[in-house]
Structure 1
Amino acid sequence: MPAFPIIDAHLHVWDQTRLRYSAFEGSELFGHPYHVEDYHAACGDLEIEAMVFLECYADFWDGGGQYLDEIAFVEDEARRDPRIRGIVPMAPLEWGEKALPMLETMRDRHPAVKGIRRIMEFDKDPRALTLSPDFIAGVNLLERFGWSFDINPNYTQMDIIREFVPRVSPGVPMILDHCGKPGIKQGALAQFKADMADLSRFPNMYVKLSDLPPYAGPGWTEADLRPYIAATLEHFGPERTIYAGDYPICLSATTMTQWVEVLDNAFAALGLTEGETRMIYRDNANRFYRLGL
């Protein structure tokens, strides 16, 4: 375990009595609430200094959604645990300039908002959404607020992301969630290396080192994950790589403590210094999400 408190840059909490999450319906693991108290129990001996909440794909529809309701729910969670220092909600960036009033409300009423995530992975046409002029205009609006954008595709969609990133203003910090959900089980290491090499060319791009075990399949080993961790650091370096736990999604394949142990072992094998591991586990998240720690 790290010898210093760490920042978890990707926490989910949800409650089906407060909002509707159709994506979780029928799931034995995810079809019930998760609160900060559950997260405490899952962290075990990990010393967590702060957390950043990421939106949980609460239901939305043409012309509306539970965007502000989810922020209010997370603010209630943060009253019980002030370590939730950042909130990254969903917003309908595909509305382009028409999303501006909602973003202004988020800024004016909810100071913990640090950025936006609008998942493209599950859209009926991810390419059409991500590369549409309105969506790109909506992402570029974030520069006015000093906010970042979390990118969430899977490995089969990374060609779209490689077209998307050059079209976004360099003034919008962006981060690739979960290393782009690589095809570890499918043996897609060459593609992963090419994707990391391409995206790392852009100084405003970061990568979130998180949630690899679910994409390695049942019975995964550290040896399965190590090449993907190594390639991430080869291209983004410790300066633009950010640790995250992705609780409770990670529970489908690992635990919070096991994931940190995997990373500790990989960092040691790769020869990272204590200062470099501190960047990944804490300092980069503090800077990227402007947590003020």
Structure 2
Amino acid sequence: MPAFPIVDTHLHLWDPARLDYTWIQGNPLFERPYHVEDYARDLGSVEVEAMVFLECFADFDAERGQYLEEVVFVEDEAKRDPRLKAIVPMAPLERGAGVEPILAEMAETHPMVKGIRRIVEFDADPRALTLSSDFIAGVNRLEKFGMHFEINVNYTQMDIVREFVRHIPKVPLILDHCGKPGIRAGAIGQYRTDIAELARHPNLWIKLSDLPVEADHRNWTEADLRPFIAATIETFGVDRVIYAGDYPVCLQATTLPRWVEVLDRAFADLGLPEADTRKIYRDNANAFYRLGL
């Protein structure tokens, strides 16, 4: 384990009694509440200094969503665990300029909100959504409110991200979960090509998370993950890579302590000094999310 407390930049919490989440229905692992107390218990030996909440794909449609309701829910969770420092909710950025009232309310009334995330991976037409003029305008509007944008895709959609980032020159960006690379498909060549192109954009950072989930859930090995960990760090450098746990989604394939141990061994084998591991585990997150640690 790291010899210092870390920052977890990807924590999910939900409660079906508070919000609606169609996607968890029928899933025996996820169809239940997950609160800060569950996370604290499952950290085990991992010492965490601060956490960042990421939106949980609560139900929405073209007319309305549970954007502000989710923020309020997480604010309530943070009252019970002050390590929860930041919130990255969803917002209907596809409205273009029409999203400004929601962003303004978040910025003015909910100071824990640091940015917006969108899981374009599950949209009916990810390309049409992500590259639409309204969506791009909505993402660029985040600059006005001092917010960043996080995008969630899988490896078959990385060409969309490569085009999208060209239209977002100033807003800080994060690619969640390394773009969900094709670990099971052995697509390391594609991954190296994609992130080499993306790393050319200095406003884009990458979140080192969820690799066990993208491998064979039950039978993955560290050898399966190592090429993707190494490529991420070698391509983006230690200054734009950010650790994340992705609890409880990670529980499909690993525990939080095991994921940290995998990274510890990979970092050691890559010869990273403690100053660099501090950047990945803590300092980059503190700077990017403006946590004030």
TM-score above 0.5, yes or no: yes
Deviation string 1:190-227 (CA, Å, 9 cap, x unpaired) is 00000110000000010000010011113000000000
Deviation string 1:99-126 (CA, Å, 9 cap, x unpaired) is 0000000011100000000110000000
Deviation string 1:35-83 (CA, Å, 9 cap, x unpaired) is 0000011101111000000000000011211000000000000000011
Query: 1:171 offset after TM fit, Å?
Result: 1.8
1:115 partner letter = G
Q: Distance in 2 between matches of 1:268 and 1:56?
A: 33
2:191 aligned with 1:192: yes
Deviation string 1:131-169 (CA, Å, 9 cap, x unpaired) is 00000000000111111101100000001000100111x
2:260 aligned with 1:275: no
1:132 partner letter = S
2:208 partner letter = L
1:60 aligns to what SS in structure 2? coil
Q: Distance in 2 between matches of 1:8 and 1:288?
A: 13
2:203 partner letter = N
Q: Distance in 1 between matches of 2:213 and 2:87?
A: 24
Residue equivalent to 1:171: 170
2:16 aligns to what SS in structure 1? coil
Q: Distance in 1 between matches of 2:236 and 2:69?
A: 35
Residue equivalent to 2:44: 44
Q: What is the aligned length?
A: 292
Residue equivalent to 1:201: 200
1:2 partner letter = P
Residue equivalent to 1:119: 119
Q: Distance in 1 between matches of 2:170 and 2:62?
A: 29
2:8 aligns to what SS in structure 1? strand
Q: Distance in 2 between matches of 1:95 and 1:160?
A: 19
Residues 242-257 of structure 1 aligned to structure 2 (within 5 Å)? 242-257=242-257
Q: Distance in 2 between matches of 1:89 and 1:115?
A: 7
| Identity, % of aligned positions | 67
Query: 1:86 offset after TM fit, Å?
Result: 0.4
1:219 aligns to what SS in structure 2? coil
Residue equivalent to 1:98: 98
Residue equivalent to 1:69: 69
Q: Distance in 2 between matches of 1:138 and 1:118?
A: 12
Q: Distance in 2 between matches of 1:163 and 1:61?
A: 26
2:181 partner letter = P
- Unmatched 5+ residue regions in structure 2? none
Residue equivalent to 1:10: 10
1:102 aligns to what SS in structure 2? helix
2:135 aligned with 1:135: yes
Deviation string 1:165-190 (CA, Å, 9 cap, x unpaired) is 0111x221000000000000001110
Q: Distance in 2 between matches of 1:239 and 1:231?
A: 14
Residue equivalent to 2:83: 83
Q: Distance in 1 between matches of 2:213 and 2:120?
A: 19
Q: Distance in 2 between matches of 1:165 and 1:24?
A: 30
Deviation string 1:16-38 (CA, Å, 9 cap, x unpaired) is 00000001111000111100000
- Unmatched 5+ residue regions in structure 1? none
2:254 aligned with 1:259: no
Residue equivalent to 1:224: 224
Residue equivalent to 2:34: 34
Residue equivalent to 2:147: 147
Over the residues paired in the alignment, what is the CA RMSD in angstroms? Answer: 0.5
Runs of 4+ in structure 1 over 4 Å off: none
2:239 aligned with 1:234: no
Q: Distance in 2 between matches of 1:187 and 1:2?
A: 29
